[in-house]
């Protein structure tokens, strides 16, 4: 009868070690998944940079088109046409960058809370 508590103690110890190993494996898998998500984010940023470069060249073309439109205005209205075109472009750019920074600022890093919770679970075991 004295051996029964030792057997139960051995089983609970082994179960605790097994659950610790399982939690470590799960944490490693989640860290790997988070790394892959970061790599995907880097590829997305690279694609966005290429898109931005394309937008810049498109904007240069649009600027030349606006300048051509201002050029055909009567000389006394040209300065007002330039001011209106510049104000419209600056306002649109500021609004877009504000929306972009707000959108990107709301997104937390991938799986940070999950990894923290798993570390708490491992401390419990």
Cα maximum dimension of the chain: 108
Q: Say what the pLDDT of residue 2 is.
A: 61
DSSP characters for 8-58?
HHHHHHHHHHHHHHHHHHHHHHHHHHHHHHHHHHHHHHHHHHHHHHHHHHH
- Predicted TM-score (pTM) of this structure: 0.47
Q: Say what the pLDDT of residue 57 is.
A: 94
pLDDT in tens, the chain (125 residues): 466 565 566 666 666 777 778 788 888 878 888 888 888 889 899 999 999 999 899 989 988 988 898 899 999 999 999 999 889 889 998 998 999 888 877 776 656 666 666 677 667 65
What are the structural domain ranges in the chain? 3-124
């Amino acid at each position: 009868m004295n051996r029964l508590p030792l057997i139960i103690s051995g089983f609970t110890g082994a179960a605790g070690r097994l659950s610790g190993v399982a939690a470590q494996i799960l944490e490693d898998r989640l860290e790997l998944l988070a790394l892959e998500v970061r790599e995907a984010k880097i590829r997305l940023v690279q694609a966005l940079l290429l898109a931005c470069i394309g937008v810049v060249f498109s904007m240069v073309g649009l600027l030349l088109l606006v300048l051509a439109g201002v050029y055909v205005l009567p000389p006394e209205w040209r300065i007002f046409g330039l001011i209106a075109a510049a104000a419209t472009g600056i306002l649109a750019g500021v609004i877009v960058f504000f929306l972009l920074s707000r959108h990107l600022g709301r997104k937390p890093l991938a799986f940070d809370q999950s990894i923290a919770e798993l570390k708490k679970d491992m401390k419990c075991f």
